[in-house]
Chain A
């Protein structure tokens, strides 16, 4: 059944690609746009993969995203749990984080370039900032929204504060925590591409910029497709993880 549903959602995509191919081949694109047919993009994808250019740049971006996302999410969850569970910490930390939260991740780029220079630390720091705040606030919301009666009940049944946190509060906050992770998994890719386009000479974003200077629209489209696919994969990974961890008790909720 699931396979049939997946196949159904593929039909519109295949239809779009077919229309793209036909429209370009028949010369129906108006003006002087550089717009290659889909089959040419596929050929270029093959060439870039075969000569290793795409894989090298992709791996550079992937490693940055994985390290930055892992560090930012872990820190966001840890600080979020502390802020959500301990009102005193929330009172102190919330005003400070509220000041930094509205700043877009890319807004930090100039100051981070000055502090850390052009290197691997820079994109990782950008991803860290990009993922830290949303995961933090979703975790705080999740922890705070746990019904206080459950906490009272757990205590009355003999749970220590640590056990209350690990056996009741965190499991019940998981749906909110995963909302933050899911949103940021895709956002991390969007941000890394932008950072690489502006400031870093390697990665998918840098490849995009080089293709632009050579007027290679086919390479640009290959890079955009890779970006779209990676966003989807990362977001779906967290959807899958959330399902595995919570579906048993949430399916009847």
Chain B
């Protein structure tokens, strides 16, 4: 657990969105700017209004607030609290849930170690580089140990090498902790490095859900290529696909999602 199911979600952007995200799955939401990716994340988190139903493990959570849904959410602009240092930022979620000081300290130490930022524990966010901020935000989002994590283009502002490193970290942490991840990105490389399946959005509609190979291979990618997301027939991208799949060990669970 948990499995996430969206049933007939409608709001100011999304149009009759239906989606099933499996337990421990890494699902990437892919699409142009304004396609409704972030709105879909906000619906899952309970931060956007909607009609329809969101179910976690078959139980409707529509009436629950974002706090009650127990979801980790890594926002696009990270939103590290400027008045709290790295340690306090990471421990914030645990503090808000009434954990003891000892438990917070121990879990924060664990997250500092996991994201390799022990040396930054006492620093304030203004002093950190982009990559360091990213790691702190990742550690903060993961500290409460929730089973669902939402990422909204978390690597957007990073340089290529840092982005690649953090991406590997996210992949490793997801596989290690077995959480269900919904991840928004525009980046082709991220899709292949991370996704178990991809949900393609266009103008608020989910137009295709499948594993990366099926989405981007010649005979299956028509919906994607027609919408102009990529040139799936490009030889280079097919090569890149093979390489990335080999590199990350991403497997296609099911052809039809």
Q: Name A's B-contacting residues (CB within 8 A).
A: 147, 149-150, 152-160, 163, 167-168, 171-172, 246, 248-249, 252-253
Contact = CB atoms under 8 A, between A and B. Distances in A.
Contacts of A147: 79
Contact of B79 (A150, A159, A171): A150
Nearest to B92: A157
Contacts of A157: 92-93, 96, 140, 144
Q: Which of the four size classes fits the interface of chain B?
A: 20 to 34
Contacts of A249: 82-85, 124, 126
Contact of A253 (B45, B65, B75, B126): B126
B97 interface: yes
Contact of B75 (A149, A171, A246, A252): A149
Contact of B45 (A149, A156, A167, A168): A156
Nearest to A245: B83
A203 B84 CA distance: 45
Interface of B: 45, 47, 65-67, 70-73, 75, 77, 79, 81-85, 92-93, 96-97, 124, 126-127, 140, 144
- The B interface, classified by DSSP as helix, strand, loop or mixed, is loop
Contacts of A253: 82, 126
B79 A252 contact: no
What's the dominant secondary structure at chain A's contact region?
Answer: helix
Given A157-B93, A172-B81, 9 more contacts: A155-B65, A156-B67, A157-B92, A157-B96, A158-B97, A160-B67, A163-B96, A172-B83, A249-B85
Given A157-B93, A158-B96, A152 B47 contact: yes
Contacts of B124: 248-249, 252
B77 A149 contact: yes
A252 B65 contact: no
A159 B96 contact: yes
Contacts of B96: 154, 157-160, 163, 167
A149 B79 contact: yes
B66 A155 contact: yes
8 contacts: A147-B79, A152-B79, A156-B72, A157-B96, A158-B144, A248-B124, A249-B85, A252-B127
Given A149-B75, A158-B97, A246 B65 contact: no
